[in-house]
Amino acid sequence: MISKWAKALLLIVVAATVVAAASFQISKSRAFQFFGEIVPRINTHQKVVALTFDDGPMPGATEDVLSVLNEEGVKATFFVMGADLEKNVEQGRKIVAAGHELGNHTYSHDRMVLKSPSFIASEIERTDQLIRQAGYQGAIHFRPPFGKKLFLLPWYLARHSRKTITWDVEPETYPEIASDSNRIVEHVLANTKSGSIILLHVMYPSRAESLKSVRRIVSGLKREDYSFRTISEMLAITN
């Protein structure tokens, strides 16, 4: 016979497990958060998309992707890490000089879940300062590392009137796709729709296949009559 205390303990364990599972799912959701506004895509019938790059900037890869974007005549949004930007400010300045947008991807790229308010503020504000030092003067949009957020990060962003920018096209999430530039291109072309926000990582040697895919992604979407916008330009459509 199970005692009342054992039953109570069992209920507590079950409830805690359910809460933990729900919190995990919410923390990685691309389209839901408890506070403020989250933007996984733009609600529009216009054939516009945003091409976004996370991490970096890094020497070499920055110049390579900027060359492709320049030749194709499109603008993108680079969600940079403060630690990388601090070491490679010249690459950050090159992104700005080419007319692209710099976004905030935190300083250390740590998961922003179960962190203190002071840690969250430091990660964001320190990176904002570095972005300004690189010469970028536009609105600084924010994207959490790994898309992770729960309570305090959205609360901080909402207090500062900032949105959480996520994405709806993410080819690199699937290992069998991420390892092959041809499959990356195919995935993006098959899943992009009006208002999509495309996520790519191109800054590190491990992402060579993603870097190789950029030109074909751009040219393929152009053939389907899509045009490219920065995140600020996409948000202006909804506003």
Q: What is the pLDDT of residue 62?
A: 98
Average pLDDT estimate for 141-148: 94
For residue 15, pLDDT beyond 90: no
Interval 65-96: pLDDT, tens: 999 999 999 999 999 999 999 999 999 999 99
Q: Give the DSSP H/E element, type plus range, for residue 231.
A: helix 231-238
pLDDT surpassing 50 at residue 18: no
Distances (CA, A) of 91 to 7, 57, 66, 123, 213: 60, 6, 10, 20, 21
- pTM to 2 decimals? 0.89
CATH top-level class of 31-238:
alpha beta
Q: What is the DSSP string of 7-46?
A: HHHHHHHHHHHHHHHHHHHHHT-SS--SSS-EESB---SS
Residue 225, sorted as left (phi over 0), alpha (psi -120 to 50) or beta, turns out to be left
| Distance of alpha carbon 102 from alpha carbon 205, whole angstroms | 21
Furthest CA-CA distance within the chain: 75
Average pLDDT score over residue span 153-180: 96
Residue 146: how many CB atoms within 10 A of its CB?
14
By mean pLDDT, which of 13-17, 96-100, 225-229 is the weakest? Answer: 13-17
**What are the residue ranges spanned by the domains of the chain?**
31-238
